[in-house]
Structure 1
Amino acid sequence: MTAAVFDHEGPWTEEEFLALGETQDRVELFDWSLHVTPGPTPRHQRISRKLGNILERAAEAANLELLEAVNVRLRPGRIPIPDLVVTTAIDLDQPNIESADVRLVCEIISPSNASTDKVLKMHYYAAAGIEWYLLVEQGTGAMRLYQRQGGHYVERATTKRGEVLELTEPVRATIRPEDLVP
């Protein structure tokens, strides 16, 4: 992938982006430019798996899908890779999930790129019409749940250690920070 990235000139098309294939790094397309971050840490992946296990049961009960680290096409030239998404029934063989099919997007905040999750992606997901956004802190498991209101998100719940997040939309789930972070 390195030669393909550094030898490339000009904006990236979606076809060129998808042709990169799977990589060790997380490569996302933001407004026709690549955004590359290192692969997730073991702590990040543990939280993702634990949260995914909780949300998967809830998604199945609501006839929805839970997917991890997939391309979500927000608009032409904008394809992030959220940590977890809850979607309607989709074609599992397509390279992208359309934002209209996403009901909840979850990001586990990495210390190295916290502003991407808290500012850039939050803005992009809201602008794309994704109703629910869940942010999880890696160090503590603290969670912030946001709901879209117009073109932005409004915080609906904050949960820290010793507390419980009760999701009622788009799925029903009970999540405790202690269940995510040892």
Structure 2
Amino acid sequence: MTAAVFDHDGPWTEEEYLALGETSQRVELFDGSLHVTPAPTPRHQRISRKLGNILEPAAEAVGLELLEAVNVRLQSGRVPVPDLVVTDPVDLDDVYVAAADVRLVCEIISPGNASTDKVLKMHYYAAAHIDWYLLVEQETGALRLHRRRHAHYVEHSVAKRGEVLELVEPVRAKIRPEDLVP
């Protein structure tokens, strides 16, 4: 993949992006530019797995899917790879999930990449009409649930250590920060 990325001239098309195939890095497409990050840390992956373990049965109980690290097509040329998504039933063999099928998107904020999750992706997910956005802060353990209002997100609820975040839409789940973040 490295040679294909460095030998490429000009903006990336969605077709060129998808032709890269599976990679060991997380590669996302934002308006013709690739955003490449190394594989997540063990801490990040532990949080993702534990959050997924909580959300998966809640999603299945209401006929939804929980998916991890999949391409989500927000619009042409905009394909992030969120940590977790709760979706309507989708074709599990498609190369991406359409934003219209995503009910909740979850990002685990990496300390060196916080602005991508808190600014860029937050703006893009809201613009794609994804109603719920859950951010997990690795450093503090805080959980921040945002709800879309028109073209942007507003903070709906927050849970810090010793508190519980209660989801009622699109799934019912109770999440304690200390159960996710060591």
TM-score normalized with structure 2 length: 0.99
Q: Equivalent residues in 2 for 1:69-80 (5 A)?
A: 69-80=69-80
Q: Which amino acid aligns with 2:130?
A: I
Secondary structure class of the residue paired with 1:91: coil
Mapped partners of 2:140, 2:41: distance in 1: 15
Q: Counterparts of 2:54 and 2:32 in 1: how far apart (Å)?
A: 34
AA partner of residue 70 (structure 1)? V
Q: Does 1:58 align with 2:64?
A: no
Cα offset, 1:47, TM superposition: 0.1
> Contact 2:111–2:139 at 8 Å: present in 1 too?
no
Unaligned runs of 5+ in 1: none
Partner of 2:13: 13
What amino acid does structure 2 have at the position aligned with 1:24? S
Runs (4+) of structure 1 moved beyond 3 Å?
Answer: none
- Between 1:21-30 and 1:82-91, the stretch displaced more is 21-30
- The residue type paired with residue 142 of structure 1 is A
Aligned partner of 1:161 in structure 2 is 161
Deviation readout 1:39-70 (Å, 9 max, x if unpaired): 10000000000000000010000100000000
- Aligned-partner Cα distance in 2 for 1:38–1:54: 26
Cα separation, 2, equivalents of 1:40 and 1:112: 11
Corresponding residue for residue 142 of structure 1: 142
Amino acid across the alignment from 2:56: E
The gaps in structure 2 that reach 5 residues or longer are: none
Distance of 1:145 and 1:89 partners within structure 2: 23
Distance in 1 of aligned mates of 2:54 and 2:99? 22
2:26 aligned residue: 26
Deviation at 1:101, TM superposition (A): 0.1
| Alpha-carbon displacement from aligned partner over 1:79-137 (angstroms, at most 9, x marks no partner) | 00000000001000000100000000000000111000000000000000000000001
- Structure 1 residues 117-128: aligned runs within 5 Å: 117-128=117-128
Instruction: Name the residue aligned to 1:111.
Output: 111
Shift of 1:22: 1.2
Q: Give how far 1:178 is off.
A: 0.9
Q: TM-score of the superposition, structure 1-length normalised?
A: 0.99
Name the aligned partner's letter for residue 93 of structure 2: D
User: Identity of aligned pairs, percent?
Assistant: 79
3-state DSSP of counterpart to 1:148: strand
1:173 has 2:173 as partner: yes
Paired AA for residue 69 in structure 1: A
Question: What residue in structure 2 maps to residue 42 of structure 1?
Answer: 42
Asked if residue 101 in structure 1 is aligned to residue 111 in structure 2, the reply is no
Q: How far, CA to CA, are the matches of 1:52 and 1:62 in structure 2?
A: 15
Structure 1: how far apart are the matches of 2:100 and 2:181? 31
1:140 to partner: Cα distance: 3.0
Equivalent position of 2:151 in the other structure: 151
Name the SS of the counterpart of 1:22 in structure 2: coil
Moved more, 91-100 or 15-24: 15-24
